[in-house]
Chain A
Amino acid sequence: AQRVTQPEKLLSVFKGAPVELKCNYSYSGSPELFWYVQYSRQRLQLLLRHISRESIKGFTADLNKGETSFHLKKPFAQEEDSAMYYCALRGQGGKLIFGQGTELSVKP
């Protein structure tokens, strides 16, 4: 089965602390994974994709096929990082399979 699991509904950290948002997936074959972010009152937008191997707004994510994980990390959280984060897997036919989302709250 193709599935994405984000085990934490809410993650609360203080400004300047490291952040790790967990994502595990189930997929047979070579997965293509994404992180999408939704800031308050804004649309869902692409944050990064694993094939790009880029760092956006200080966030990085490494695909670990052994652990079937694609955790999102940032060394020093900022208040403006507070948002809803969704991990997604590209499934058959190009559809996106989303996790349930993790709300990140960065406190001052």
Chain B
Amino acid sequence: ETGVTQSPTHLIKTRGQQVTLRCSSQSGHNTVSWYQQALGQGPQFIFQYYREEENGRGNFPPRFSGLQFPNYSSELNVNALELDDSALYLCASSKGQGNQPQHFGDGTRLSIL
């Protein structure tokens, strides 16, 4: 069983740039959730995708957007990067929309200069 994989592992960008982070869900999982984890904090929910549609969104501005593909992999896009966007971005996958547990990837460490 293949776990959740994220790419890249690290990324450095400058203010105002745009970034795309990628996530492959665990085999058999069709729901992907994205979280932002700032240093010293717990993960914060950004949004969730189920069967290629956004299925819930946290308190993040519209410059945070995403996609889910037919194979259930997903992308997180962030436009007009700000210094405060520096964080670890975690992807988690699960089966269905019910009460199945979420399985996390290793994350992408994004640094904004």
Contacts and interface: CB of A to CB of B under 8 A. Distances in A.
Nearest to B98: A94
B106 A95 contact: no
A90 B45 CA distance: 11
Contact of A43 (B31, B56, B97, B105): B105
Contact of A93 (B40, B43, B56): B56
A32 B98 CA distance: 11
A51 B99 contact: yes
B107 interface: yes
A44 B107 CA distance: 9
A93 B48 contact: yes
A97 B56 CA distance: 13
Interface string B53-96: 00110100000000000000000000000000000001010100
Contacts of A92: 56
Interface residues of B, number: 26
Given A43-B106, A49-B101, A90-B99, A96 B45 contact: yes
B48 A46 contact: no
18 contacts: A43-B104, A43-B107, A44-B43, A44-B90, A45-B103, A45-B104, A46-B101, A46-B102, A51-B99, A88-B42, A94-B33, A94-B56, A95-B45, A96-B35, A98-B35, A100-B40, A101-B41, A101-B42
B44 interface: yes
A22 B44 CA distance: 20
A25 interface: no
Contacts of B103: 45-46
Contacts of A100: 40-42
Contact of B33 (A45, A46, A49, A96): A96
A99 B42 contact: yes
Interface in B1-49: 31, 33, 35, 40-45, 48
Nearest to A42: B106
A94 B43 contact: no
